[in-house]
């Protein structure tokens, strides 16, 4: 499958939902011309835009894993096997975990060194809880990714979760 065919998949789903290009672009927070480049000119979106498209087009995890992830990863990594793609996202998550842990530690230290209001303390606690949840989720995805690298199974569902976790952590 080529990049134009991927764009046609996105466009077909958009039309199925009776969305205009402008409406979908607004939902995904991208310019309409960028969406046009994806749909008509074969531009492959970033992981974050890809995930936003899946959400905005009401494509659930199962459908994304079975229909869209194989196409997306094949186009993004044309010379890599599924195992190599899993290894790529596993390594990416390991790197992001390290960065997020450092950020978590900075947040914790900052809240101890400065006098903050109880409201701010609640915000810090909520942020730290969210970050710890992301780290835990990413660590379990890494373990699953390493297990899948040694099998010939089709890891599409895992790839969808790994791409999603990686994109989420990059926004942290």
Q: Looking at the structure, do residues 117 and 162 belong to the same domain, yes or no?
A: yes
Q: What is the enclosing helix (H) or strand (E) of 62?
A: helix 61-63
Higher pLDDT, 18 or 131: 18
* Residues 34-53 pLDDT 10s: 999 999 998 999 888 988 89
Tokens of 60: 């659930």
Tokens of 25: 């672009």
Which structural domain range is residue 72 located in? 3-76
pTM of the full predicted structure?
0.68
The whole-angstrom distance between residue 38's C-alpha and the CA centroid of its chain comes to 17
Domain count, the chain: 2
Kindly indicate the confidence band of residue 31, based on its pLDDT and cuts at 50, 70 and 90.
Answer: very high
Q: Looking at the structure, do residues 69 and 103 belong to the same domain, yes or no?
A: no
Looking at residue 70, which CATH number applies to its domain?
Answer: 1.10.260.40
Place of tokens 């089709």: 154
Q: Looking at the structure, do residues 51 and 110 belong to the same domain, yes or no?
A: no
Give the count of beta carbons closer than 10 Å to the beta carbon of residue 121. Answer: 11
Kindly indicate the confidence band of residue 12, based on its pLDDT and cuts at 50, 70 and 90.
Answer: very high
Beta carbons of 22 and 32 less than 8 angstroms apart: yes
Closest to 86 in 3D by CA, of 139, 137, 144, 169: 144
Give the count of beta carbons closer than 10 Å to the beta carbon of residue 51. Answer: 20
Average pLDDT over residues 140-149: 74
Q: Looking at the structure, do residues 98 and 53 belong to the same domain, yes or no?
A: no
Q: Looking at the structure, do residues 22 and 66 belong to the same domain, yes or no?
A: yes
| Maximum Cα–Cα distance across the chain | 57
Q: Looking at the structure, do residues 155 and 112 belong to the same domain, yes or no?
A: yes
Q: Among 16, 48, 76, where does a domain finish? A: 76
Beta carbons of 15 and 24 less than 8 angstroms apart: no
Q: Looking at the structure, do residues 109 and 127 belong to the same domain, yes or no?
A: yes
Q: Looking at the structure, do residues 141 and 122 belong to the same domain, yes or no?
A: yes
Q: Looking at the structure, do residues 39 and 93 belong to the same domain, yes or no?
A: no
How far is residue 3's CA from residue 109's CA, in Å, rounded to a whole number? 46
Q: Looking at the structure, do residues 64 and 123 belong to the same domain, yes or no?
A: no
Question: Which alpha helices (H) appear in the chain, and where do they start and end?
Answer: 3-16, 21-28, 32-41, 47-56, 61-63, 69-76, 82-113, 118-149, 156-170
Beta carbons of 50 and 137 less than 8 angstroms apart: no
Average pLDDT over residues 136-159: 70
The answer, yes or no, to whether residue 131 has pLDDT greater than 90, is no
């Amino acid at each position: 499958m080529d990049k134009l065919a991927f764009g046609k998949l996105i466009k077909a789903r958009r039309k199925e939902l009776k969305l205009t290009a402008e409406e979908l672009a607004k939902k995904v927070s991208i310019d309409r011309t960028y969406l046009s480049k994806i749909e008509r000119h074969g531009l492959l979106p970033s992981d974050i835009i890809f995930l936003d498209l899946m959400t905005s087009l009401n494509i659930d995890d199962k459908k994304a894993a079975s229909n869209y992830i194989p196409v997306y990863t094949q186009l993004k990594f044309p010379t890599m096997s599924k195992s190599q793609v899993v290894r790529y996202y596993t390594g990416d998550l390991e790197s992001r975990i390290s960065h997020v842990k450092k950020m978590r530690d900075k947040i914790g230290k900052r809240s101890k060194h400065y006098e903050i209001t109880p409201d701010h303390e609640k915000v810090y606690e909520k942020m730290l809880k969210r970050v710890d949840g992301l780290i835990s989720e990413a660590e379990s995805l890494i373990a699953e990714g390493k297990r899948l690298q040694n099998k010939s199974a089709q890891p599409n569902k895992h790839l969808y979760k790994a791409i999603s976790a990686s994109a989420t952590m990059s926004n942290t």
